[in-house]
Structure 1
Amino acid sequence: MNRTELLLSLFDSSGFGLEVGPSYNPLLPKSKGYNVETVDYADAATLRRKYSANASQIEEVDYVSDGSSLLELIGQKERYDFVFASHVIEHVTDIVRFIQDCEALLKPTGVLVLAVPDKRFCFDTLRPVSTVGAALQAYIEKRTRHTPGMLFDHQLSICTKAGGIVWIEPTFDDVALVHEPKQAQDLFEISQKDTDYHDIHGWQFTPTYFRYFIKTLRALGYIKSGEVAFNKNDDIQLHLHEFYITLSKNAPTLDIADIDLLKKSEEELREIQLSRAPNPLESALKSKEQEISRLRDEFAKATDTQESKILTLQQHLRQSQLETQTLKASSSWKITAPLRFLRSVVR
């Protein structure tokens, strides 16, 4: 499935829904018959001016948000069958309130569908995951602006990889910082004096940590929704920089222990290699393949009168082939398969 097909497989899009922040790339365009309302940070005319190259894809905006409560903006509880938000939740200032607002706007059987960036494969890669405690702090503060400290961290740590802001290669090769520390300090000081909204990725997640994050907020009673569907893209897929989750107030409790989710989250972080340096297994395999090639050359040159030499070569050849097969069958070799493929593409 392509991205659109995959997302649409996570919920029933035939009902009445809300798409949050579609900008010039709606998943559910009204022009294609979807029964939706949209909310964005600006009206359609403003968006068309800003994204003039994609103006034809921008539809009328039903609600213009200033970042405050979605529920207060729309003003009607249990209105929608679904709410869809792609690359929105990482921008909100109060992630708990955002989910609570979506829950209030949804009918009892409604679902919240999210496409969320995987911090490991985008410009957030150098920042740590966002904790449940950090989300609760924003919630009790009723935060409507990102804090100066968050703006500082964003400005200080934002990076590119080979000039791109998203990627699929799981290494830190070619990663470069965008700003100097002084620029982060300037933003930090300015944000303490003005009231302007500064848009950043305020929240960073890996796929499994986000599952833990949602499960914990629900278990503690801050939100009502749990996971009913989850998808993490396979290695080497174009959209490896994001993952997808469907939440519902009717979801059963996620049957994975907290400690297992946290362990898996740490494992995900360790999947990113410092460098694309060759794996020791690759060097060993290359050596064996070279030995097999040499033995085959010698075997081809041997004559029928050199019967003992032929038998010896055959034995050595079989042994080398067996050792090569053992290397390729090892779990380490299988685990590093995506990285070898990506290296061949990048190089």
Structure 2
Amino acid sequence: MHPGSLSLDAFLNRRSADRRLARLTHDIVLPEARGLEFGPGTNPTPLPEGLSVAYVDHAAAPPDAPPGTAPVDHVWAGSGPLAAVLDRTGHDFAIAAQVAQYVPNLLGWFRGIHAVLRPGGVLNLSLPDRRFMFDVARRESTIAELVEADLLAYARPSPRQVFAHTYEARAVEPAAIWAGEDPAGAPRLCGEAALALARLRATEALDPERTLDCHCWVFTPLSFLDVIEEAVRLGLFPFVFNQIAGTEPGGFEFFVSMRRDAEEDPDALRGLQTGAIGHLRGILERQRRTARLLAGA
């Protein structure tokens, strides 16, 4: 039984009242399914007893891990085949809450997860919306950066990724931004020494014995759709989107659900992918226009 296991009735009651849980478990088959959760830390997703889940992280849990830390069943850096470290494939679902931004090779990570899901299997994830947290001053990630990380098969953050994270992060809370505080005036998270510290951390990133966590990727819901659409056009993204949920007032994260489609013809699959992205982009743009109208009312 996995940590936080609930009875099916308790899970359904909780999910009906918790939109975050509902989005992270979207389209997961009940009452029985087998899946993976990435980087659960001390906050694994609550799941019902009929679901079997294995936990995957970039490193084994340290001996001094905080109480309640989920066990790491499989270690995977996110680059290279995930199937090579698992005891089986054909999983029904995968969950990754606030994980993908830390993955050095995002396209390779998606590809690895896709390969171990069954046709129809889903990946549900959440990502920080840079507009409402400490990445607010950073520019959004580009397809060039994703392709570079994939071609070089990053298994650890690059010096550039570490430098940008260290130097550009701002000391600002989501609540303050939503309350109207101008994040441009927020101090750097690392203070006046941010520039020198960024250079030091970038140098340390070259040491294979050092493990440095950083936000390798920076998105808004719309910029994520845009860069993934470019990856689709290059044949570098294998999933079909199911839904996207934009960042709610007061929050800092958005949610994406995607599936491994049964369609195997590349052209037909690309049509499904681009059609889904166009549909979801339209939803987000309508929501943005509505929010602007309400703000001006």
Same fold (TM > 0.5): yes
**Identity across the alignment (%):** 23
Say whether the 8 Å CA contact 1:160–1:176 is kept in structure 2: yes
Q: CA deviation at 1:43?
A: 4.3
- Residue matched to 2:150: 139
Are 2:116 and 1:96 aligned? no
- Residue matched to 2:138: 127
Secondary structure of residue in 2 paired with 1:81: strand
Alignment of 1:186-225 (within 5 A): 186-193=200-207, 195-225=209-239
| CA shift digits 1:73-113 (9 cap, x unpaired) | 21644x20111101111111110100000110100111111
From the superposition, tell whether residues 165 and 96 of structure 1 become closer, same or farther in structure 2 (CA, over 3 Å): farther
- Residue matched to 1:244: 255
From the superposition, tell whether residues 170 and 33 of structure 1 become closer, same or farther in structure 2 (CA, over 3 Å): farther
Q: Which amino acid aligns with 1:26?
A: P
Secondary structure of residue in 2 paired with 1:128: coil
Q: CA deviation at 1:123?
A: 1.1
Aligned length: 261
Structure with higher RCO (Cα < 8 A, 6+ apart):
2
**Aligned counterpart in structure 1 of residue 51 of structure 2, from 34, 41, 52:** 34
Are 2:71 and 1:60 aligned? yes
Separation of aligned partners in 2, 1:68 and 1:253:
23
Q: Which amino acid aligns with 2:71?
A: E
Separation of aligned partners in 2, 1:100 and 1:159:
32
Secondary structure of residue in 1 paired with 2:51: coil
Mean CA deviation greater in 243-252 or 7-16 = 7-16
- Residue matched to 2:118: 107
Separation of aligned partners in 1, 2:209 and 2:65:
23
From the superposition, tell whether residues 61 and 189 of structure 1 become closer, same or farther in structure 2 (CA, over 3 Å): closer
Are 2:85 and 1:73 aligned? yes
Q: Which amino acid aligns with 1:73?
A: V
| CA shift digits 1:9-62 (9 cap, x unpaired) | 6222532111111111111457x443211112454573xx3323xx2xx34332
| Larger helix percent | 1
Across the aligned residues of Structure 1 and Structure 2, the Cα RMSD in angstroms comes to 3.2
From the superposition, tell whether residues 220 and 206 of structure 1 become closer, same or farther in structure 2 (CA, over 3 Å): same
Separation of aligned partners in 2, 1:245 and 1:159:
25
- Residue matched to 1:334: 294
Secondary structure of residue in 1 paired with 2:93: strand
Q: Which amino acid aligns with 1:234?
A: E
Q: Which amino acid aligns with 1:210?
A: F
Superposition TM-score, scaled by structure 1 size:
0.66
Are 2:39 and 1:21 aligned? yes
- Residue matched to 1:172: 182
| CA shift digits 1:174-219 (9 cap, x unpaired) | 6221222111122223334554231100000001111122222123
Separation of aligned partners in 2, 1:185 and 1:217:
30
Superposition TM-score, scaled by structure 2 size:
0.76
Secondary structure of residue in 2 paired with 1:50: coil
